[in-house]
Amino acid sequence: MADLERIRALEERLVNAWPSFEIEIAAGWILRFAEGYSKRANAAAPLVPGAQVDPALIDHILRAFMARGVAPCFRLTGLEDRRCEEVLAARGLVEFDPSLCLTAPLGSDLLADPSVAVRGVATPAWVAAAAASYGGEKVNADRLGRIVGAIRQPAAFATLSLDGEDAAWGLAVAERGHVGLYDIVVAPGLRGLGLGRRLVTSLMAWGREQGAAQAYLQMRESNEVAAALYASLGFTTAYRYTHRVLPAAP
């Protein structure tokens, strides 16, 4: 079992590094809302070790999300009481998108790639290009811009250029000895060329320059390509987390 203090410390940094538009605290849970843009910013997650749920709290959380037009989502990190999975399953919430939080030490041999440009703020061009490359549910540039524009910790908005064209984008946020890596994305037609590795190592090098000793990131458990990349860079699993959501309508 992962250390609860380690989970709590990393989850704190996540909340700060990837802001939501609105939050609510309820009985040891933090409810985050960002108009549905990304599960990280639109979920109810345990705030303290041993956080529990009961029928009244579940009803309250479901209503809070539905009132904002956001699909209810419980993000279960292991901080919650171990019976929460059973209670939520009994209410009909199904498991969705199991994921991993990975960490890695930042070695002194990390070097920034000269093809990676780093800015301390997100430009409109960075936001538009990153959102377009994400695609799917994360294509909304306005919401992405509002999220990254609310970051208050030191941040690095990175763009990798290939043959004079922007080809990959990523974000790093430094806080209290850690650097979090978020939304690493490569242009769809350029994947498989090793651009992700160059981008990630550059962001890790930036984090070390900010005084961080550890990097962390989160990824879907099923993403075998990303898992291989991060394992080769020294990342190991800090904890597993999953989500409980209402079943999709037929």
In tens, the pLDDT along 29-47 reads: 999 999 999 999 999 999 9
Interval 109-136 mean pLDDT: 93
**Pairing relation of β-strands 73-76 and 94-105?**
unpaired
The pLDDT of residue 248 is 79
Whether residue 169 is found in the same domain as residue 147: yes
Residue 62's identity, in one-letter code, is: L
Could you give phi then psi for residue 225, rounded to 5 degrees? -65, -50
In a shared domain, residues 127 and 170: yes
The number of folded domains in the chain is 2
Rounded to 5 degrees, φ, ψ at 8 are -60, -45
100-104, 126-130, 132-136, 182-186: the lowest-pLDDT one: 132-136
* Shared-domain flag, residues 202 and 113: yes
- Cα–Cα distances in Å, from 114 out to 29, 118, 200, 201, 209? 43, 10, 13, 11, 16
Taking only the tens place, the pLDDT of each residue in 195-208 is: 999 999 999 999 99
Same domain membership, residue 174 and residue 139: yes
Mean pLDDT of 233-241: 97
Same domain, 93 and 112: no
CATH of the domain at 93: 3.40.630.30
- What confidence score (pLDDT) does residue 138 get? 84
* pLDDT (0 to 100) of residue 1: 45
Q: Can you give the pTM of this predicted structure?
A: 0.94
| Average pLDDT of the segment spanning 212-240 | 96
Claim to verify: residue 88 and residue 117 sit in the same structural domain: no
User: Average pLDDT in the 222-237 region?
Assistant: 96
